[in-house]
Amino acid sequence: MSISYETVIGLEVHAQLKTESKIFSAASTQFGAPPNTNTDPVTLGLPGVLPVLNMGVVEMAIKAGLATHCEIAPRSIFARKNYFYPDLPKGYQISQFELPICQRGWINIKVDGQEKKIGITRIHLEEDAGKLLHDFGDSDFSHVDLNRAGVPLIETVSEPDMRSAAEASAYLKHLRDIFVYLGICDGNMEEGSFRCDANVSIRPVGQKEFGTRAELKNMNSFRNVERAIEYEVKRQEALLADGKVVVQETRLWNADKGVSESMRSKEEANDYRYFPDPDLLPLIVDAKWVERLKNSQPELAHEKSLRFQKDYNIPEYDAEVLTADRSIAEHWEKSVQGLKSLEAKKVSNLYMTHLLKLQKETPETFERITSEKVIEILHLVESGKISLNMAKEVLDEVAGSDKAVADIIAAKGFVQISDTATLEQTIDKVLADNPDNLAAYKGGKEKLFGFFVGQTMKALGGKANPQVVNDILKKKLKS
Amino acid sequence: MIQKDTVATIAKLARLEFTEPELMTFADQMNQILGFMEQLDGLDTSKIEATSHAVDIPGPMREDRVVESNVIESLLKENAPDHEDNFFRVPKVL
């Protein structure tokens, strides 16, 4: 007899906030600084220092809470989480335990076209720990870099609402998109500025109580989160099938081997002896502050996508591709607004087929292609001076050099021929040179229309304005 | 009641080492402290929130601005038990 199981997943996500200074001190948070240079007496946990909360951190946490429909606590407190490890200079991490800044929120995810609401239990503030290097210098020692110690984090804890690896991945992506759009986190999983732990358990379908869960760590990409969860579900099913039990433990995902390994339950693990930090008075957030932040929240990807579909009449697919990256969405909208007659759909095509590729392949030079440049070039398309295909080549050149648009066009010899007299002359010649095809067309083979267009374009080196060629040809073939 | 084992566990978490008689002494003392606290059981505290801080004023905050500190240079050389280049050096923990 085989029992079918249901998977239950809850995620804990740590997001590094993009502040200039640390959560409780004025040391810099800049990534990649020489070891231990982003430190000060507070970061180093020297005796006699006092932490002072960074207002920017609080604002970012409130923004995250508002965007995820959380209640913002008017009063929250900081707690000490006590443990000894060399990456933690004070012997405790300042976090929030009983009264976090945000609670009871939710976000909607979409998997296979189905919307689903995922609850968010809480978002709390805490400081990051330092970094240990095990392969530096003398290999008999570990080396401590405290640059990351005290960097602000928000930890977002979800309800155990997800039922598959795909749902977990969708939730994680959506949460990251929100934080990146808000400008509070750069969302980089590989560099660790957006990290995820997953609590995974299984239970027989229909059972109410949760099964024993394992906590998965060390998954540094969306793909690895999915793989690790899928692996864990299979592992637990196999255990139960063998009549064994799942033990509650932390497991580290090993991406190279494609397996997770037990992290040998640390003795007295989870005995962190939390207590309110006497050094930090309660964090009071007044309603006016929340209101002000609410009013300054940027439009998020989903809302933007709906608005693009409505305001610019572009398909859902286009709107979602364009809004996936806030900078691209804003770039596109600015370009469209600067144009006179070119349809938004054509501009959307240009971005999706060409500019997104440029941004991905050559991000360092993509910056040269401003919306202003796109508008300047597309105005030439609107006035019939160049074609959309020529515009693409001009954009490539803009990215590759500092040349002016006019110079690029002159150098490439891009001139679209829209002059009716020249075009008529060429078309007459094409028709005269192909009497057989002309007769066939007139006899009903209307597909040959494309042939005549092609011949005309070829005769003019591809520079003819296709719209004008079409119009003249239609007229001539009718007569 | 605090037992000797509880004291031993707390000591271990705090990386402290005690002799058997010391553990007994601390267990006794902790029980005395808890005894004092038990006086509160005589009061109805069901409608009173746990006190996290003795003074009820909002915590101060600072602007998000960087201020340079060069404390690390002298600290590594003069205070750290051991260092290598710009790192603190500690016994292998992996």
CA distance A143 to chain B (A): 5
- Looking at chain A, the whole-number percentage of residues with pLDDT higher than 70 is 98
Where do the domains of chain A lie?
Answer: 5-290, 301-412, 420-478
pLDDT digits (tens, 9 = 90+) for A174-191: 999 999 999 999 999 988
pLDDT digits (tens, 9 = 90+) for A25-73: 999 999 889 999 999 999 999 999 999 999 999 999 999 999 999 999 9
Give yes or no for residue A443 having a pLDDT over 90.
Answer: no
Q: In chain A, whose CA is at the least distance from the CA of B55? A: A281
Domains and CATH numbers, chain B: 4-42 (1.10.20)
Contacts of residue A273 in chain B, CB cutoff 8 Å? 13
B62·A278 Cβ contact <8 A: no
Q: Using alpha carbons, select from A367, A361, A335 the residue that is nearest to residue A348.
A: A335
Give yes or no for residue A7 having a pLDDT over 50.
Answer: yes
B56·A282 Cβ contact <8 A: yes
Q: Is A198 exposed, middle or buried (0-12, 13-18, 19+ CB in 10 A)?
A: buried
Contacts of residue B70 in chain A, CB cutoff 8 Å? none
For residue B71, give the nearest of A41, A137, A273 by CB distance. A41
R_g over Cα of chain A: 30
Give yes or no for residue A267 having a pLDDT over 70.
Answer: no
Rounded alpha-carbon distances, angstroms, from residue B85 to A31, A35, A37, A39, A145: 19, 9, 12, 16, 11
pLDDT digits (tens, 9 = 90+) for A354-397: 899 888 888 888 888 889 989 988 888 888 788 888 888 888 88
Q: What's the number of CA atoms in the CB half-sphere (13 Å) around residue A416?
A: 18
Is the Cα dihedral A236, A241, A246, A252 positive or negative?
negative
**Mean pLDDT throughout A117-141?**
93
Which pLDDT score, from 0 to 100, does residue A363 have? 82
A56·B63 Cβ contact <8 A: yes
Which pLDDT score, from 0 to 100, does residue A204 have? 93
Question: In which element (H, E) is residue A145 found?
Answer: strand A141-145
Categorize the per-residue pLDDT at A265 as very low, low, confident or very high, splitting at 50, 70 and 90: low
pLDDT digits (tens, 9 = 90+) for A23-32: 999 999 998 8
Residue A210 forms contact with B (CB below 8 Å): no
pLDDT digits (tens, 9 = 90+) for A195-234: 999 999 999 999 999 999 999 998 999 999 999 999 999 9
Give yes or no for residue A270 having a pLDDT over 80.
Answer: no
Residue A276 forms contact with B (CB below 8 Å): yes
Within 10 angstroms of residue A452's Cβ, the number of other Cβ atoms is 21
Mean pLDDT score of chain A, rounded to an integer? 91
Write down the CATH number for the domain with range A420-478.
Answer: 1.10.10.410
